[in-house]
Amino acid sequence: MCGPKFVVCLKNLSPAQMKNLQKIIEVPVWDRTRLILEIFSKRARTREARLQVETAYLQYMLPRLGGMWQHLGRQGGGGGSRANKGIGEKQIELDRRQISHRITELKKELAKIEQVRNVQRSGRSRDGYPSVALVGYTNAGKSSLMNRLLEMSDSASEAGDEKKVFEKDMLFATLDTSIRKIAIRDLRPFLLSDTVGFIENIPHDLIKAFRSTLAEVRYADVLLIVMDSSDPHHRMHKKITEDTLRDLNALDIPKIYVYNKADLRATGLNTQNIPGNDHVYISALTGYGMDDLLVTLDKILGSGDRTIDVLIPYSNGDLLNRIHNGGRIISEKYEESGIHVIADCPALLAGYIDSCLGGSSTG
């Protein structure tokens, strides 16, 4: 009969605890962080996600090298010269150098990717679209909600399934940030981002490694905190999500608590949406409650709107296109010197129009 290949401890272990435990049971030991890293490594699809996971994994392994070469000899005494070190000690020193060098390389690559992200984010800000981020405990249904909103979007027939994100009933199905434009009927268009799911006691090295991905959360105008309302532990998941947002300095961003999977809740529980509140019950699978969510979201997004009254020269047609895409036209008249436009626009877009026209807008 075959014995276990490894043993998993649901708590995090210090390097010394892991080393001593492995001596006793003579089987490789994984703690909570190692298990999460293994799951992440299998879920990573893009280059950025793989770099982030590798960085976190190497930072985790660096202080634990001592337990990996116990089968090699060690020679004590004789000062501190390299010649007097045992084979195991020499190997550990070499591994530490190589790992430290690799971590430095990975951080440089991730810094370049982060610069690209910042440029892309600046471009999206100029377009004037407000940003909405999906956050929450892993497997709460964030990707399912994004796909449901994409199906409801006016551009759904043109995009087909190309814009949909990967969704599956499993932990950490999504590690990469996906950003999609959502434009539904007469509601304000917005950019929706789907981020990596949170989990209890998320490893600190993972948060550091995924900082560029999670930056989309910090720059969001509204957060949709998605919870699996059918899960008996969803209140604890809500607290864990809020604690993680606090660590990211993002807890003060306007938010809506989205209780997903309302169709799976036990019968008799009240799932009635109360207009004006910051919570809604929905089912991303069936579409239940989606209209309530969109009305609540649109109200928050519109709270910072400005009414602009501008004359756009015919040579600045791109500005008119931005207003059409990111705002709501009240009136539009073609005059001899340009196009006279009155529109409600998000504050970012209104500010951009102001800067381009020398501050000639009002409202």
Q: What is the CATH number of the domain that holds 66?
A: 3.40.50
Number of Cβ within 10 Å of residue 164's Cβ equals 17
| CB-count burial class (<10 Å; 0-12, 13-18, 19+) for 161 | exposed
Please check whether residue 155 is in contact with residue 184, taking contact to mean a CB–CB distance below 8 angstroms. no
Same domain, 292 and 318: no
The answer on 276 and 138 residing in a single domain is yes
Considering the domain boundaries, does residue 84 fall inside one? Answer: yes
Domain count, the chain: 3
DSSP code at position 189: P
Residue 113 corresponds to which tokens in the numbers above? 């990717």
Asked if residues 203 and 56 have their Cβ atoms less than 8 Å apart, the reply is yes
Are both 287 and 310 inside the same structural domain? Answer: no
| 165 and 298 fall within a common domain | yes
Q: How far apart are CA 107 and CA 102, in angstroms?
A: 9
Residues 200 and 96 in one domain: no
The whole domain housing 342 covers 306-356
126 is a domain residue: no
212 and 336 fall within a common domain: no
User: Are 157 and 234 members of one domain?
Assistant: yes
Give dist(CA 194, CA 174) in Å, integer.
Answer: 8
Q: Which of 95, 68, 93 is nearest to 84 (CA)?
A: 93
Q: Is 89 inside a domain boundary?
A: yes
| Residue 30 and residue 83 in one domain | yes
Number of alpha carbons in the 13 Å side-chain half-sphere of residue 107: 11
Same-domain pairing of 182 and 69: no
Per-residue pLDDT of the chain (363 residues; tens, 9 = 90+): 567 788 888 888 888 888 888 888 888 888 888 888 888 787 777 788 888 888 888 888 888 775 554 443 444 444 444 444 444 455 667 688 888 889 899 889 988 888 887 777 776 666 667 889 999 888 888 888 999 999 988 765 544 566 776 555 556 666 667 788 888 887 888 889 887 777 777 766 667 666 666 777 888 889 999 999 988 888 888 998 898 888 888 888 999 999 998 887 654 445 555 444 588 999 998 999 999 999 999 888 888 788 999 999 998 888 888 888 778 889 999 999 999 999 988 777 888 888 888 765 555
Contact 264, 277 (CB under 8 A): no
CATH of the domain at 244: 3.40.50.300
Residue showing tokens 């793989």: 50
**Length of the chain in residues, anyone?**
363
